[in-house]
Chain A
Amino acid sequence: MTRRFKPPIFATTKRGVTTWTLNIGEDEQAVVADLLGQLRTLLNSDDDPDAPTSPLLARLFPNAYADEEDAEKEAEYQRLMREELVASRLHQIEAVGAYIASGEEQTLDEGQVIALMQSVNAVRVVLGTMLDVSDDDDSLEGLALDADDEGEDDFEIERSLYAFLSWLLEWIVRSLRST
């Protein structure tokens, strides 16, 4: 458990070159890899532009134009950009998949960290949508304990994963800021 004394990700600068160390265990890396795989599946199953979007993905693809009078522009935007947004997400997932869950401590460059940040947040947003997160509470404890009053919590695992990813994301942002 020595890794607990270090952040899950941190930056080191040597001779003007900054690298990041991903310092989470093999199991945790496997969890991230598995979640990214699930997101990839969701994204690939939604490749028909005319098909209704999976409600879980709604927050990944918001409207660009808020005004109803811009409906035409919105349709054009979605036609041109949606595919590109899907491609961008898949590209980021692939970039992370290339190094994660290899069972070794990872040294990353900035682009890989950004891909990790975007991917981790995309999964958080899907999980948050599933959990219907509506708290004004950014604390992990609050979310982890936010179970149904009835006792049974069907989404206990998802809540834990959401909290884990929030923790990881917080450290990713911190590591990028420290450079």
Chain B
Amino acid sequence: MPTTLEPVQVQEPDLADATASDRPWIVLVWNDPINLMSYVTHVFQKLFGYSLEKATELMMDVHEKGRAVVASGTREEAEMHVFRLHEHTLWATMEHDE
């Protein structure tokens, strides 16, 4: 996987938007140089039930674009996804959908 270690700058959610906290959260997986491509694909399939094609597509997005949105949902759901991705030692974060 490519070398990017720091998250790229992402657009900040609009703080003035009072409904910000009601918006769904997205779960991102970031590129890292250690996790194997086959492993990342497998984890996406296992945790989210994606087909091999979809999981491979997401993995390639992580690999080539530096990150990919792999899931979305309420804050609790997103936290659970992030936790399970961390259990698998993938670099996952969550943020408000924009």
Contacts and interface: CB of A to CB of B under 8 A. Distances in A.
Contacts of B36: 138, 166, 169-170, 173
Contacts of A170: 36, 38-39
A119 B10 CA distance: 32
Nearest to B34: A128
In this complex, the interface size class of chain B, counting residues with CB under 8 Å from chain A, is: 20 to 34
Contacts of A62: 86, 91-93
Interface in B55-98: 75, 79, 82-83, 86-89, 91-96
Contacts, number: 90
B35 interface: yes
Query: Interface size bucket, A side?
Result: 35 or more
Contacts of B5: 134
Contacts of B37: 138
A138 B94 contact: no
B23 to A, nearest CB: 13
Interface of A: 59-67, 69-70, 73, 77, 81, 84-85, 88-89, 117-118, 121-122, 124-125, 128-129, 133-136, 138, 166, 169-170, 173-174, 176-177
